[in-house]
Chain A
């Protein structure tokens, strides 16, 4: 009985981690946004009331920002259900996770907390610590004014009688400000030349107010844009280093998944341009992959990747080519991780050129797996949404027969990483019980996910999982 319950618990936790890693509640190729959001909400509630400890610990795993926010809000809302010991751990985990979230998301959380009337002592303490810990409160007050104010008011934070208080609660009565950014902000109301010293999103509003032409504005503001803002708005630059060097300082967490972002960017370029800039793009992707691989580079031995570029890797209009971008980023990462010259990529369509890949065609996953097994690898990594349809179910059969008849000693390590959460089954679609399937959001998480995959296979039980999670939590908090 105890064993069975343990197994169920371990499965539930992995299910949740898979979902919370892969899904962002947005529309996917096969699911609508509503279906995704409903499944996610159910999973969050289920975890919160059944496995509170593990739920909190999942903050230390690589669950994505969207789900981290949902988890933090859930934990804060139900504070009365927690024991004092749980509260202490949760508090530190939440505080730590907030530091790695982009500021817009944190401020959105503050507004959410206010809207839902979550106002216990711990919530106020967490909001206060986060705001007090800001490196440059004036900058954040200007850039995220409403969220900043919402947080202050909701958590009853005393910020003293200084300029910041005047700026937030009676801005134009005070003049002049001595804090440079506040003074610039005040001047931008009256003169258009001042607005180019403000953060991009704030300047955008003033530019509209002064009726500045969009092109002129973008050209002059470019050095005030963060790298991500540049990626979002501009056509150039694609060279990642130039992007990092020539941009304004990004005041959020510094671990941005550049490899995956870059893959998304590359796939957004027309095929002709990709072909023309092949050297530059490949070099950029390789460089970031090498950084991500770090000291693990070249240690994975002989690796074969089965990468999904079938039509469903298009994703959806809101997550355009995301599954394909993850596959492309994994391709470069695996190339770095594998022993030199020991890496074989196999694309689903049979096309050879990773840089010119595009979504199209069916998913003959079973046949590609046989191709992969024929290369005699130490490890096979499958990056696919798991919709094996040509013919359906062949991949599972191939893996089953391979494990049962041809490789009973498990010489070859097969891992399936899935960038798409399947709302119907409340999990990422698995290929077969014989190969672990884990959810993935950014290719950068690949290494830690492969670690986690051993639990997904049911080889290790709940005690081991708890020990692993404890280790991750300690490492996570220790890294602070």
Chain B
């Protein structure tokens, strides 16, 4: 899968300290899909039942509701005016320790509720944890004693990212804006796209409740303010019309630079996607990157229309260590957890790979004999 942002146009960026927000504008909203915010009230933490026996625990500050194929005239149910459109069974105020059933759930005839980013995060956490394909005793014993050891990953809540609150507050939302790209020290932190400008207006503050990777937190904390890309006009204009053309060219130049340089790592990658839910013509998918160490890697979730264009997008930038862990898991799984074969495939020896496995904290996954041999 590729991230297809056609239909979205890049607007001039706005800078606040080390943070840069780049608006994405649509000429026309995506038809037939709306997103609403579902406030979960002062939830302390939540537990999501994935199957009957496996559960996912997390603090989940908000959820999204996707509506599709509603009549255009159905303005009462539109999110932009703050109307609550939650089903009768779902009381939303105050629900400490509530169990959400599944990440994506049908919440009405033409409505699904899903938990933003958690869908993607669960996909990442569950990477090759469907239980090992090979049976071995150590693993079985550990499972019996301690259960399926859950993997854990740290992320930072938007509220603690220095400056993010102010950056979102002073950001001047554009007419027709349907998305935003958030950069910290000009490293892409998160992409957020919704189908309709009114949805964006309502969901803009939820960026503060989302989770962000370690890199973003550190960049926002330590990096100096980023520079604005200031417009420059050459001196060779000789009429007002020329001046206007030059000014408009500046807008285009920025958009082109942004799309080809700053955003390229997000859109030029091929992702592995998994469909989580189908709603009419739209697919809710979660995707993961190829886990290339040393490069930008984003996991995320998207709603795509029949042609694969993005209607909704939310991404999470993995930190270097997270990318390495993902890379190792994929590599080992591809070679049936055989160190020799796996190391040969990347042109190194098994000692070196073993050190990397140890550093990533995965040595417990190997047999004791193997561990001793190393």
- Residues of B contacting A401 in the complex (Cβ-Cβ under 8 angstroms): 233, 235, 237, 243, 246
A-B interface contact total, Cβ < 8 Å? 85
**Contact status B247-A398, CB under 8 Å:** yes
Expressed in whole angstroms, the Cα–Cα distance for A404 and B235 within the complex equals 8
Is A161 interfacial (CB-CB < 8 Å)?
no
Closest to B244 in A: A370
A310 to B12, CA, bound (A): 15
- The reply to whether the CB of A389 lies closer than 8 angstroms to some CB of chain B is yes
Q: List 30 A-B contacts (CB under 8 A).
A: A29-B170, A30-B170, A310-B172, A360-B173, A361-B173, A361-B174, A366-B231, A367-B244, A367-B248, A373-B240, A374-B240, A389-B12, A389-B172, A391-B231, A391-B250, A391-B251, A392-B228, A393-B231, A394-B247, A394-B250, A397-B231, A397-B232, A397-B233, A397-B250, A398-B233, A401-B237, A401-B243, A401-B246, A405-B237, A406-B243
When A and B form their complex, which 10 residue pairs have the shortest distance between CB atoms, in order from nearest? A393-B230, A391-B12, A394-B231, A311-B172, A392-B228, A362-B172, A397-B233, A390-B12, A391-B231, A393-B231
Instruction: Given A366-B247, A370-B240, A401-B235, answer yes or no on A392-B230 (Cβ-Cβ < 8 Å).
Output: yes
By a beta-carbon cutoff of 8 Å, the part of chain B in contact with chain A is 11-12, 14-15, 170, 172-175, 228-233, 235, 237-240, 243-244, 246-248, 250-251, 254
Residue of B12, B238, B246 touching A362 (CB-CB under 8 A): B12
Known: A370-B247, A401-B233, A401-B237. A391 touches B254 (CB 8 A): yes
B230 and A312 within 8 A (CB): no
In the complex, which residues 374-432 of chain A have their Cβ closer than 8 Å to any Cβ of chain B? 374, 389-394, 397-398, 400-402, 404-406
Nearest Cβ on chain B to A406's Cβ, whole angstroms: 7
Q: Does A58 contact B (CB under 8 A)?
A: no
Q: How far is the CA of A402 from the CA of B244 in the complex (A)?
A: 11
Name B246's closest neighbour in chain A (CB-CB).
Answer: A401
B230 and A367 form a contact (CB under 8 A): no
Residues of chain B within 8 A of A23, CB atoms compared: none
Q: Is the CB of B170 within 8 A of A367?
A: no
Chain B hits for A390, CB < 8 A? 11-12, 172, 174
Among B15, B229, B232: residue with most chain A CB under 10 A: B232
- Chain A interface category by residue count: 20 to 34
- CB neighbours of A398 from chain B (8 A): 233, 243, 247
Cα–Cα distance between A367 and B232 once the two chains are bound (Å): 13
A393 to B227, CA, bound (A): 12
- Chain B positions within 8 Å of A311 at CB level: 172-173
Contacting residues, chain A, for B228 (C-beta < 8 A): 392-393
Docked Cα-Cα span, A397 to B244, in Å, equals: 11
CA distance A406 to B237 in the complex (A): 8
Question: Which secondary structure dominates chain A's binding surface?
Answer: helix
Cα A363 to Cα B240 in complex, Å, equals 20
Chain A interface (Cβ within 8 Å of chain B)?
Answer: 29-30, 310-312, 349, 360-363, 366-367, 370, 373-374, 389-394, 397-398, 400-402, 404-406
A164 → B minimal CB distance (Å): 51
Distance, CA A349 to CA B14, complexed state (A): 17
> Which of A361, A390, A404 counts the most chain B CB atoms within 10 A?
A390
Are B170's CB and A312's CB within 8 A? yes
**Complex contact B170–A405 (CB within 8 A):** no
Identify 8 new A-B residue pairs, CB closer than 8 A, beyond the known A397-B247, A401-B233: A312-B172, A361-B175, A362-B174, A374-B240, A391-B229, A392-B12, A392-B229, A398-B243
A34 to chain B, nearest CB (A): 14
B225–chain A nearest beta-carbon distance, Å: 11
Complex: A374 Cα to B243 Cα, angstroms: 11
Bound-state Cα–Cα, A400 to B231, Å = 12
Chain A: CB-nearest residue to B230: A393
Kindly provide the distance from the CB of A60 to the nearest chain B CB, expressed in whole angstroms: 36
- Neighbouring B residues of A391 by C-beta, 8 Å: 12, 229-231, 250-251, 254
Q: State how many angstroms separate the Cβ of B105 from the closest Cβ of chain A.
A: 35
Q: In the complex, what distance in Å separates the CA atom of A392 from the CA atom of B228?
A: 7
Q: What residues on A are CB-neighbors of B172 within 8 Å?
A: 310-312, 361-363, 389-390
Q: Which residues of A contact B15 (CB under 8 A)?
A: 392
Query: What residues of A have a CB within 8 angstroms of the CB of B233 in the complex?
Result: 394, 397-398, 400-401
A367 contacts which chain B residues (CB < 8 A)?
244, 247-248
How far is B228's CA from A349's CA once the two chains are assembled, in angstroms? Answer: 22
Q: Inside 8 A of B229's CB, which chain A residues have their CB?
A: 391-392
A464 to B246, CA, bound (A): 39
| Nearest chain A residue, comparing its CB with the CB of B232 | A397
**Residue from B228, B243, B254 whose CB has the most chain A CB atoms within 10 Å:** B243
* Chain A positions within 8 Å of B248 at CB level: 367
CA distance A397 to B229 in the complex (A): 13
- Cα A390 to Cα B14 in complex, Å, equals 8
Determine the distance from Cα of A362 to Cα of B23 in the docked complex, in whole angstroms. Answer: 11
Tell whether, in the assembled complex, residue A389 and residue B14 are in contact, meaning their CB atoms are under 8 Å apart.
yes
Docked CA distance A389–B175 (Å): 14
A34 to B14, CA, bound (A): 24
What's the nearest-Cβ distance from chain A to residue B242, in Å?
Answer: 9
Chain B residues within an 8 Å CB radius of A400: 233
Q: How far is the CA of A389 from the CA of B173 in the complex (A)?
A: 11
Collect the chain B residues with CB atoms within 8 Å of residue A402's CB: 243
By a CB distance below 8 angstroms, the chain A residues around B247 are: 366-367, 370, 394, 397-398
The smallest beta-carbon distance between A98 and chain B, in angstroms, is: 38
